[in-house]
């Protein structure tokens, strides 16, 4: 029996060696693809996974001279400090409110634009619309905020000029907290709607043309075709993108919010990302542990939302990430 078992083991080893050699040969044939894959994998490992080692300072009183391991452990004190601070509810309210506003306003418009472009027959006009809507995406955040300030300037801005022409007088929109969220969200919609609709256009291109031909023969209007053919065709992609968007609910973005901030609108513009920057780097007393705890809390909430929405999508019979 031992000889038979030995022979079986040897045969299995030989088979495994053949499989590994075959795999290496197959990889060698398309080595260029693996080189391309190595770059994003290296980026994720270096900038996403390795920094997780430093997340432990959220539970410590980090002292630079002692290092991460040498700093004293304080448990959840940094989290408790944030929850008990007078800024907590205002910051969370601003972040969550801006996130929901951004999701509600920004998610449907790329779908509407993609559906509209899909039914444009005039190719030159279609390409012009695509170019005009895609181009703002490539404007940097700093330039975009500069444009916003110039357009909304109470003295020389085009909006103030229009209001004065209507006899309404100029309004300092950037100096009033109640306008901050709308300016932030709708400027983002204008900047990203064209680029975001690309994936929906690709999904629409994959729908079987025979479905549209049959619908036309049956007398279906374009609206009916959109509702009964196009929307069900892009629904799986839309659900995946919605899940990913919800998973980034609290990840609004630091740069734009920080650049649009001023003392007059700070009550509405202070979000988690800007607060972390001010506490961790811009404060007179730098506190890395406290800012790390706030950032870790934000990421945990994002993870919980991602898991919850993904599970809800599966229960509803829709597409999910896993």
Q: What does the alpha-carbon distance between residue 322 and residue 275 come to, in Å, rounded to a whole number?
A: 34
Q: What does the alpha-carbon distance between residue 97 and residue 90 come to, in Å, rounded to a whole number?
A: 10
Predicted local confidence at residue 321, as pLDDT: 73
pLDDT tens per residue across span 33-63: 888 888 889 999 998 888 888 888 989 888 8
Burial label for 172, CB within 10 Å (0-12, 13-18, 19+), is middle
C-alpha triplet 226, 232, 238: angle, nearest 5°? 105
Q: The tokens of 16 are what? A: 């495994």
Predicted local confidence at residue 50, as pLDDT: 87
Q: The tokens of 190 are what? A: 């204008």
pLDDT tens per residue across span 167-216: 777 788 888 888 999 999 999 999 999 888 989 998 898 888 888 889 88
Half-sphere exposure of 223 (CA within 13 A, CB side): 0
Rg over alpha carbons for the chain, rounded to the nearest Å, is: 27
Q: The tokens of 122 are what? A: 């005039």
Q: What does the alpha-carbon distance between residue 95 and residue 273 come to, in Å, rounded to a whole number?
A: 9
Q: What does the alpha-carbon distance between residue 243 and residue 249 come to, in Å, rounded to a whole number?
A: 10
Residues 82, 86, 89, 91, CA torsion sign: negative
Q: The tokens of 187 are what? A: 């400027």
pLDDT-flagged residues of the chain (< 70)? 1-9, 11, 283-285
Q: What does the alpha-carbon distance between residue 98 and residue 185 come to, in Å, rounded to a whole number?
A: 8
Helix axes 77-84, 88-106, angle to 10 degrees: 80
pTM score, whole prediction: 0.82
CA dihedral 30, 35, 40, 44 (to 10 degrees): 110
Distances (CA, A) of 287 to 50, 122, 273, 277: 21, 58, 15, 10
Predicted local confidence at residue 3, as pLDDT: 46
Half-sphere exposure of 124 (CA within 13 A, CB side): 0
Predicted local confidence at residue 94, as pLDDT: 92
């Amino acid at each position: 029996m031992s000889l038979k078992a030995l022979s079986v083991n040897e045969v299995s080893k030989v088979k495994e060696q053949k499989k590994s050699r075959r795999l290496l040969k197959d990889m060698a044939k398309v080595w260029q693809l693996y080189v391309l894959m190595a770059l994003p994998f290296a980026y994720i490992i270096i900038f996403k996974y390795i920094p997780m080692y430093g997340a432990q300072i959220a539970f410590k009183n980090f002292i630079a001279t002692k290092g991460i391991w040498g700093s004293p452990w304080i448990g959840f004190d940094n989290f408790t400090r944030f929850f008990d601070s007078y800024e907590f509810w205002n910051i969370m309210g601003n972040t969550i409110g801006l996130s929901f506003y951004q999701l509600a306003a920004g998610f449907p418009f790329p779908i509407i634009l993609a559906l509209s472009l899909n039914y444009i027959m005039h190719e030159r006009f279609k390409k012009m619309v695509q170019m005009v809507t895609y181009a703002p995406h490539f404007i940097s955040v700093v330039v975009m905020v500069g444009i916003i300030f110039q357009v909304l300037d109470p003295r020389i801005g085009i909006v103030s000029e229009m209001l004065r022409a209507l006899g309404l007088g100029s309004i300092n929109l950037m100096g009033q907290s109640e306008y901050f969220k709308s300016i932030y969200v709708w400027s983002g919609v204008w900047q990203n709607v064209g680029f975001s609709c690309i994936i929906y256009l690709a999904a629409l291109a994959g729908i079987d043309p025979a479905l549209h031909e049959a619908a036309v023969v049956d007398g279906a209007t374009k609206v009916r075709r959109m509702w009964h053919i196009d929307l069900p065709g892009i629904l799986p992609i839309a659900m995946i993108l919605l899940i990913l968007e919800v998973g980034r609910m609290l990840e609004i973005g630091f740069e734009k919010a920080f650049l649009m901030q001023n003392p007059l609108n700070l009550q509405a513009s202070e979000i988690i990302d800007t607060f972390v920057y001010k506490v961790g780097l811009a404060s007179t007393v730098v506190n890395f542990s406290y800012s790390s705890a706030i950032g870790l809390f934000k990421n945990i909430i994002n993870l919980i939302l991602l898991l919850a929405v993904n599970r809800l999508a599966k229960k509803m019979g829709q597409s999910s990430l896993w």
